[in-house]
Amino acid sequence: MAKLLNRIVLPFLPNFGPSRLFQVQKIPGLLKEPRCWSSEAGTSVKIKAPRTSVNQPGLHTQDHLGLWYTLDPDLVNRLFGMGGMTKQYVIHCETFAETCLMIRQPALTLIDGIKRSSLALPPNKFILYGQNGVGKTCSLVHVTHFLSEDGWLLLHVPWAPRWRRDFKEVSPSASVPGRYDHPLDAVLWLQHFRSQNTELLKTLKLETTERYFWSRREVTEVGVPLTALVDLGISRARFASDCIMGLTSELKKHATEGRCKIAVVVDGINTFFCPTSRFRREDRSFVETENFTIFQAFKHLFKSDWKNGVIVGSVDGGANESQRRESYLPRYLLRLKGWEALDPFVPILVSNYNELEMLSVVDYYVDRNWLQTPGGASNVGRRELAALSGYNPFTLMAVCKSL
């Protein structure tokens, strides 16, 4: 080890030890290509990210674990243009000029579970859980891509806690006394729904089964395409929350009758079962989450009284209030109310990187010139990166940010 450090580090850092490995300054002419220093010969070889040309998630197998696959820009804009990816990941994709995902075991397990689900039975429920920063949202991105390619109608909530604490506006419901709407957030979600499902809705040609009265002059009749309900909510923010309620009810009926198959995908699903929001009534009391129209619209989809569907979600400490984030386990984050509402479900653990994934992500960072420190891609550098990050994806991203 000492000989290796002397050969790699000390020529550039005569006054520093191995702990300062990643503070090497850029040396002109040395960083033109991503390189890794051999531990034996002292020679350098160009590093390439381990990629696969199989870009269809439904075809990914155990043989593809640790490999990176590329998402088409048009697909990314259609599925995730209005949310679904973390801000840090989006910044990375813009920096790398591509959207790539590493194929990991939790996503493969979930995709396999969906493939094996019987659509003649109540919807199977799959819940991703794990510590902060392990990649639950990226696993949902992988699964959402699969669902879209496999012909599922998506009811996707990119980050549910936004409706509980980071909403744009809340107003009393015009249709149900004591209930509250999210006019602007509901419009944004309807736009997101339309972006994800436009082509599929044209093929399915689903229609309304009930009359919807919005005012004395505005009525949505029976037999009108569901897209008209979506368009009404987008153009009239006042009715947007009720349009979501009507849309989810209609889709639930159509799925039960076998006209379509629906995938409910929610990142931070435990926020639906938090006791209160940050919005106050006129008497200064906090509004309970069950009194939000948009929450009610999705919570009735969590029930097991329909079929031809699947429910995919993640539980996250950040989706709870600040005083209830000590554990990452589903039973703690969901509380008794959420546990009973989603029972039975299949829990899928998303953990930190293993050795294969750790090597793969460092190779990818070097390949994209994100990790440029000379010793960063060496065997010693990789071990130090693993030690500094604890194999945690988010921490590794932060550690490499300044390298």
Specify the pLDDT at position 183: 95
Measure the CA–CA gap between 122 and 302, rounded to whole angstroms: 10
Q: Which of 325, 169, 153 is nearest to 254 (CA)?
A: 153
Number of Cβ within a 10 Å radius of residue 364: 20
CB distance 368 to 374 below 8 Å: no
Measure the CA–CA gap between 153 and 261, rounded to whole angstroms: 6
150 CA to centre of own chain: 18
Number of Cβ within a 10 Å radius of residue 166: 10
Measure the CA–CA gap between 325 and 113, rounded to whole angstroms: 28
Measure the CA–CA gap between 316 and 162, rounded to whole angstroms: 13
Strands 309-314 and 124-129: parallel
Long-range contacts of 256-261 (CB under 8 A, 24+ apart): 256/306, 256/307, 256/308, 258/308, 259/204, 259/206, 260/153, 260/204, 260/206, 260/308, 261/119, 261/151, 261/152, 261/153, 261/308, 261/309, 261/310
Strands 68-71 and 180-181: unpaired
Segment holding 100, helix H or strand E = strand 99-102
Specify the pLDDT at position 403: 63
Regions of the chain short of the pLDDT cut 50: 1-43
Specify the pLDDT at position 7: 41
CATH numbers and ranges of domains, the chain: 104-349 (3.40.50)
Q: Which of 270, 199, 211, 212 is nearest to 239 (CA)?
A: 212
Specify the pLDDT at position 45: 65
Specify the pLDDT at position 44: 54
Measure the CA–CA gap between 402 and 373, rounded to whole angstroms: 9
Segment holding 162, helix H or strand E = helix 161-165
Specify the pLDDT at position 39: 39
Measure the CA–CA gap between 45 and 339, rounded to whole angstroms: 52
Q: SS in 3 state form for 174-228?
A: CCCCCCEECHHHHHHHHHHHHHHHHHHHHHHCCECCCCEECCCCCEECCCCEHHH
Residue partners of 272: CB distance under 8 A and separation at least 6: 160, 266, 289, 295, 298, 299, 302, 338
Specify the pLDDT at position 217: 85
Q: SS in 3 state form for 19-69?
A: HHHHHCCCCCCCCCCCEEECCCCCCEEECCCCECCCCCHHHCCHHHCCCEE
